[in-house]
Chain A
């Protein structure tokens, strides 16, 4: 793992919460925010398609 990834993995607490735990939550949160920010333009990318119309409808079986 590159040293930059472990830079905040230190013993100690911030606001009573272990810094390592906080660090992972913050990175995770940033990933979520980044994903959300990118989702809109990517979702509107016209190469994405919905599933074509469903195949011939199959009636329920007797069972």
Chain B
């Protein structure tokens, strides 16, 4: 057994080390040498204040009793941190923008800087934290008794509480830091985090590899039931415990303090997102081996909660036992210190200060009074919190009831969750909703879980617990409305958190947020959009800067207030004078004050000093809201108007198009009638002559028949062409394409028009493709287009020595066939209409053809994926170009054609 003196010496030495670390770091902070403190590792280690004596010792006990269930306490925080991007990042951003000092400050600030909400949250935090602190004191005292072999529990607890109070007062209220950051405390907490991790791993490794023979030996005789525990893995209790631990890592005042308030860089969350779960993983790794080896080797009835300590003692490894004790001591003290800071800040800012400020205002206090009062109230609050913790421990006599208080506290602070999440993600959440949800949730928590934990010794008698108040069974605390047979914890969570969330939602939906709530709601919910994210700006035109300065002096002290106002004056270009009380100045001042006394108090003081009551601001924001709504309505109307205008324009365009189509149709019918009437007139008149005149010579008869025949052929061709273009335009003409060689098609077409060219005396030259190439086309139709184009070049060429040059070439994946004549081609004006049906160019005065050839040719080319265009050398000289996509596939069956 270790001597008491040695244990005390080690403890005192360890505490002295913590004091030294905190002192040195604080000094370095004042000298602005805090670079190493800004490491994300320090930040992550400080978050491990989550692991208290309850988890350090109690996890082993939980594993011994309930198997793997203890893991849930670590899984919840793991999930929250892995998903940091969604919640923690937003919390930290809001905390930074609004100089949030505590979770009470956050909730109050979100709901219109409501003092009543701040007080309520503070009260719940105090009630949930006090027994938790008592639990830590119990952890230290009981382990001290084990390791020292005796000692008075109350005395030990008293000195531990006193020591922690001293430490917290010295380093937790050393400065009224604008952001409530405590670098010295954080450094000490980080050191303790390392100690407790090393201690637990050292004990675990010793138990696993020295007492037992590795993991296989540890689990050799362990039954599956012992692993699973009483409840199902992933059953309702598992889910609820994981939910509770996830909630706790956000809502516990101490966790909010280290994660949000002490955060100096959002990027630190990125490392904490995996390093903190890794830390927890390290804490969990040896819990089961310690539990199962302890149950195997320790005498029957040994408390598994103390296996971490009793196994090394039983094995006479006193140095290891001392290390384990220090690990547990670190877990307990770090929790107590941070919880005391967090809760005392809340008590001071939201309970003591508002009352004290009223008193001081009545007495016209001078500069420095408020500041002294603030520090005093913080210190008194710390004393009260730790005093309450000690008192709770003393009165409860360190009973077993304390062991369950960890989870009870988790459910208590889980009441903050609906208001917190609703405030962060729902602009419609209202103060009335948050207040009513919190009150109902808190009362149900107390009724269904907290008071029953005293087993009938406090407020609720054993008879009430068993039969309900006045014998009304449906009101039994642990079987509300007949919901019996449920795990008490699950029952309490379902009722308290469920009712809290439901009432929060319903009341928020039924009530209207005030103007300030709307403003704060918008700032919180849209925090990533807010440029500055500072507190409200307002129009204060009569604020007396002198008064503001006096106020700042009172809260921040003379020098800092002077520095702040000098800086703001410099920003306004008023060096050496006080700044104008602009919106920005007041907003900045409110933010700075909020860092010291909380948002609600800062807001209340500023509105009083500036003579601006909420009413003025409310009206202002209402006006802004109405203006915003008008702008929105106006914008919507403009959009509708633009849509209507657009629809009208589309209708006008469609109408014009229809008119044009109608005119085209009339033109087309006129043209068709004309084209049909001319040959029909000839045929009719000549046939009448042949029928009625009997004295016609044979020669004349023969000539008339020949004309009738020719006109019939012309009519047939015209009808064929009309049919063709109709099918092409309707898309019902199916063209079968194949791989053909353009040179061959051109040569074939030239052959077809050779009679025509010879008769017209046209000199034809052909410049074929220099190498073999292929296109996908219908050979007959391509030939038809070529013949049409060549015929046009012959027929409409006014030159006395007509020439036609046909040129085939490759160009960027296309095969181009140019038909160039020396007649000048079509003019630029004609080019726009030459492809219309029945259109003829101005140079086609010969009156040949129906004017359908080019329209059909272009339609055919486009159908084959190509085109027929007019290319201009100059305004008056042009030629026709057929283009087709070159085919990659070779058609070896088509022989190359030699140049003609």
Contact = CB atoms under 8 A, between A and B. Distances in A.
Given A39-B274, A42-B85, A16 B216 contact: yes
B68 interface: yes
A60 B75 contact: no
Interface in B560-579: 560-561, 563-564, 567
Contacts of A17: 215-216, 219
Given A29-B281, A39-B270, A49-B266, A54 B178 contact: yes
Interface stretch (B105-113, B169-177, B435-443, B841-849): B169-177
A61 B222 CA distance: 59
A35 B227 CA distance: 28
Contact of A35 (B82, B96, B371, B595): B82
A31 B379 contact: no
Contact of B271 (A13, A43, A49): A43
B625 to A, nearest CB: 28
B179 A55 contact: yes
A63 to B, nearest CB: 6
A43 B556 contact: no
Contacts of B227: 11, 18, 20-21
Nearest to A56: B560
B671 to A, nearest CB: 69
B458 interface: no
A53 to B, nearest CB: 10
A39 B271 contact: yes
A52 B379 CA distance: 28
If over half of B's interface residues share one DSSP class (helix, strand or loop), that class is named, otherwise mixed; here it is: helix
B62 to A, nearest CB: 14
Contact of A34 (B82, B93, B228): B82
A20 B233 contact: yes
Contacts of A6: 233-234
A24 B559 contact: no
Contacts of A20: 68, 227-228, 233
A9 B562 CA distance: 65
Give the interface size class of chain B.
35 or more
Interface string B422-436: 000000000000000
Contact of B215 (A16, A50, A63): A16
B224 A31 contact: no
B270 A42 contact: yes
B267 A1 contact: no
Interface string B542-563: 0000000000000011011101
B263 A51 contact: yes
A16 B78 contact: no
B851 interface: no
B239 interface: yes
Given A11-B224, A51-B96, A35 B274 contact: yes
B217 A32 contact: no
B89 A48 contact: yes
A58 B222 contact: no
B559 A59 contact: yes
Point out which of A1, A31, A55 has the most chain B C-beta atoms below 10 A from its C-beta.
A55
Contacts of B372: 61
Nearest to A47: B528
A58 B178 contact: yes
A37 to B, nearest CB: 9
B277 interface: yes
A27 to B, nearest CB: 9
Given A42-B85, A59-B559, A63-B379, A21 B288 contact: yes
A55 B219 contact: no
A25 B174 CA distance: 42
Given A18-B219, A28-B75, A43-B270, A55 B263 contact: no
Interface of B: 30, 68, 71, 75, 78-79, 81-82, 85, 89, 93, 96, 99, 173-179, 214-220, 222, 224, 227-228, 233-235, 238-239, 263-267, 269-271, 273-274, 277-278, 281, 284-285, 288, 371-372, 375, 379, 528, 556-557, 559-561, 563-564, 567, 592, 595
Given A48-B270, A49-B266, A57-B563, 11 more contacts: A11-B227, A31-B78, A32-B277, A42-B270, A47-B528, A49-B96, A51-B263, A54-B177, A56-B178, A56-B560, A59-B559
24 contacts: A11-B227, A13-B219, A16-B216, A16-B217, A18-B227, A24-B75, A28-B284, A31-B78, A32-B78, A32-B82, A35-B81, A35-B274, A39-B270, A43-B270, A43-B271, A48-B265, A49-B96, A50-B267, A51-B265, A54-B179, A55-B178, A57-B30, A58-B556, A61-B174
Which 6 residue pairs of A and B lie closest in terms of their CB atoms, listed nearest first? A16-B216, A55-B178, A43-B270, A35-B274, A11-B224, A56-B560
Interface of A: 1, 5-6, 9, 11-13, 15-18, 20-21, 24-25, 28-29, 31-36, 38-40, 42-43, 47-52, 54-61, 63
